[in-house]
Amino acid sequence: MPSNFSGNWKCCAVGDNFSDFLKIYGAGRIIRTLAYMTSYGVNREVENITMASENDIQIINHGPRRKITQTLKINGTEQSAENIPDGSPMSVTPSWDGDTFVMDQRGTSNGSGSGKALCTVVLRRPLEDSGQRLRTEMIAPTL
């Protein structure tokens, strides 16, 4: 049975190359600068996750710029969602890899005036420390 991710999760750290990740993700210079100025959401960004069943998840992301709610079926099918940095439409394919929640994201990012960029990212979310910590690994093809 997959892990239950229900809870309130606060961003506590980001990787060293997060600005590079945002660039690949399609964020323009202004968005990357604002993200840097807000410490990339560390101790500011919160996700409220509710799992109604092992395959029904609602993720409410409270970021420095906006609040986005995504309600998804974790069943390996492509679904419509909203890109967190700029609200542009994207498709996601949520699935399980054992106890790890995996979400393939594909779409375009407006990049704050830099034109639209295609972004493909894989999110892997394992629970750690006996369910006390949710790690989000953001994997872009060129990182």
Q: What is the pLDDT of residue 116?
A: 52
Q: What is the pLDDT of residue 113?
A: 38
pLDDT at 95 over 60: yes
d(CA 69, CA 137): 20
pLDDT at 56 over 80: yes
| pLDDT tens profile 35-45 | 888 888 888 88
Which of 46-55, 82-91, 128-137 reaches the highest mean pLDDT?
A: 46-55
Q: What is the pLDDT of residue 140?
A: 72
Q: What is the pLDDT of residue 21?
A: 78
Residue 123's contacts (CB-CB under 8 Å, 6 or more residues apart) are 101, 102, 103, 105, 136, 137, 138, 139
- CB-based burial, 65-77: b 16+ in 10 Å, e otherwise: eeebebebebeee
d(CA 86, CA 96): 27
- pLDDT bracket for residue 141 (50, 70, 90): low
Exposed (0-12), middle (13-18) or buried (19+): which is 120, by Cβ within 10 Å?
A: middle
Q: What does the pLDDT average to over 59-87?
A: 85
Of 26-30, 118-122, 126-130, the poorest mean pLDDT is in 118-122
pLDDT at 48 over 90: yes
**Share above pLDDT 90 across residues of the chain, in percent, rounded to a whole number:** 23
Nearest CA to 129 out of 39, 1, 7 is that of: 7
- The full 3-state SS of 47-69, as one line of letters, equals EEEEEEECCEEEEEEECCCCEEE
Q: What does the pLDDT average to over 20-30?
A: 77
